[in-house]
Amino acid sequence: MKKLLLMIARQATVMTVTALLLGVAAFAQDTQSQTDIEQPGRPAGLAVSSLDELRTFADVIRVIREHYVENVDDHSLLAAAINGMLASLDPHSDWIPPEQFQAVTDDAAGQYGGLGMDVQILDGFLMIVDVAPNTPAARAELRSQDKIIGIDGISMRGQDLREALNSLRGAPGSAVNLKIRQANNQQVRNVQLTRALINSPSVRGRLRVDHYAHLHIEHFQQGTEQQLTAAFRAVRQEADNDLHGIVLDLRSNPGGIVESAVATVDLFIDDGVIVSARGRDERTDFNFTATRGMLSELPMVVLIDAGSASAAEIVAGALQDHGRAVIMGQTSFGKGSVQTILPLRNGSGLRLTTAQYFTPTGRSIQATGIAPDVVIARVDILEDPRFAREVDLQRRLENPNQQGNDNTVNIQQQLLMLSQQDYTLAQAVNFLRGLQILQSRDNDT
């Protein structure tokens, strides 16, 4: 009798899980009709090869529930199954749980509940890269190079960056406890911070060596092109409307919203294709063309590196194909696919790869990246101290044209200082200076 009851219980478990999975299939069919992404030539709904495969899946869940060393609830098992299914497709498709879906929307809008610092994983630790002013992190006197070794009592050793970001972010007004190893003295301190609404601008503009605009786009979000235009105007005003060139810095830019990248390119070219995309479903195809070209006159350099990906590569590829800019730096990441965020009814969502994009000349950069026109290795530059110059000698004669040479010496000093801070950026400015010098000489003749 006991054996019979066990068999009945097991069969009931299989039937229950199978019914649950069939409900998931029906839900997927209903969701698919709502989001209008059914495949051409196939009936709408989830394609299931056979009921036997669902039964096998139910058997696996039953065995795990009964025999795994620790208790695992059905929700966790099904979430893991969904994640595994999407992970088998490509590295960029995944499931976004309800508690994380809002954060994805906030990132696109440039606002989130958090602490106001950029972090990255370095040597297995969570390292603070930058701290924004007037944020909870700044008020707690956190510094670049500090290590976050614990969040709310959980060690960050070996943690995934996404998991760490989810732990740092949260509703404005909520508290979070950090264990910090300070960079300057390696002491460990515990800090309690209150999360706030953080506005995360994607563009920073600065005037370099008197006449060159340095526009750094950190990521592409809603309104990036407006921020870029505003930053350019501010730098131009600082230069008394006398700019000689633009350095568009896309280094370590992981991408973001494709439409914002397209609008950015549209600022720099007058017409022609910006980017196109083709997928299995023709409704995911698109073809964007330029219409404005508000900043299409000044000479331009675009900086990229291995961290420049996705939407950043769309910008670099379009400007390179149109001959609008010289691309300098290192070969980019090589992500040539387009992801679509699809909301589901329970508040979660799918980030699904739906197409591959192509540059204006029709080339795919998938797994190859954008190759720079001018390769610049990462180096540390120091002035050679071995040689003395005439200016260093005692009792030297003074230069009768010293006043006229002051500006040249000042520019050289600025470039040397910039080279020591950011060699690649200094080479971009040097390149633009060379173009400007050649142009002025041509005009003189």
What does the DSSP assignment read for 249-267? E-TT---B-HHHHHHHHHH
Residue 393, domain member (yes or no): no
**Predicted confidence (pLDDT) per residue in 79-106, tens digit:** 999 999 999 999 889 999 887 787 777 7
Using only C-alpha atoms, what is the Rg of the chain?
28
Residue 242, domain member (yes or no): yes
Between 428 and 97, residue with greater pLDDT: 428
Provide the whole-model pTM: 0.77
AA identity, residue 127 = M
Same domain, 217 and 194: no
- Checking if the pLDDT of 40 tops 80, the result is no
Same domain, 174 and 25: no
Same domain, 194 and 215: no
CA atoms of 221 and 108, how far apart (whole Å) = 5
Rounded mean pLDDT, 422-445: 88
- Residue 240: which CATH number? 3.90.226.10
Same domain, 344 and 306: yes
* Contact criterion met (CB below 8 Å) for 181 and 187: yes
Same domain, 194 and 209: no
Catalytic residue among 167, 321, 332, 419: 321
* Contact criterion met (CB below 8 Å) for 338 and 277: yes
Residue 391, domain member (yes or no): no
Catalytic residue among 93, 308, 332, 335: 335
Residue 392, domain member (yes or no): no
Same domain, 229 and 353: yes
Per-residue pLDDT, 387: 65
Count of domains forming the chain: 3
Which domain-ending residue is among 54, 88, 122? 88
Mean pLDDT taken over the chain:
84
State yes or no: is 310 an active-site residue.
yes
Per-residue pLDDT, 245: 97
Same domain, 342 and 250: yes
Catalytic residue among 310, 332, 337, 419: 310
Which domain-ending residue is among 199, 233, 260? 199
Number of H helices, E strands in the chain: 11, 19
Q: State both tokens at 99.
A: 């508690």
Residue 440, domain member (yes or no): no
CA atoms of 117 and 411, how far apart (whole Å) = 34
Say what the alpha-carbon torsion angle 105, 106, 107, 108 is, to the nearest 10 degrees: 50
The pair phi, psi for residue 288, each rounded to 5°, is -100, 135
CA atoms of 228 and 256, how far apart (whole Å) = 15
Residue 443, domain member (yes or no): no
Which structural domain range is residue 167 located in? 111-199
Between 396 and 224, residue with greater pLDDT: 224
State yes or no: is 74 an active-site residue.
no
Same domain, 269 and 337: yes
Which helix (H) or strand (E) element contains residue 329?
strand 326-329
The pair phi, psi for residue 253, each rounded to 5°, is -90, 115
Sign for the pseudo-dihedral over CA of 181, 182, 187, 190: negative
Same domain, 213 and 348: yes
Per-residue pLDDT, 252: 82
* Contact criterion met (CB below 8 Å) for 113 and 171: yes
- Per-residue confidence band for 368, with pLDDT thresholds at 50, 70 and 90: very high
- Residue 119: which CATH number? 2.30.42.10
Rounded mean pLDDT, 146-167: 86
Same domain, 370 and 257: yes
Same domain, 213 and 349: yes
Provide the pairing of β-strand 326-329 with 374-375: parallel
Residue 401, domain member (yes or no): no
State yes or no: is 406 an active-site residue.
no
Which domain-ending residue is among 158, 179, 199? 199
Residue 102, domain member (yes or no): no
- Checking if the pLDDT of 43 tops 60, the result is no
Same domain, 25 and 123: no
Rounded mean pLDDT, 192-220: 92
Per-residue pLDDT, 11: 37
- Angle between helices 224-238 and 258-268 in degrees, nearest 10: 40
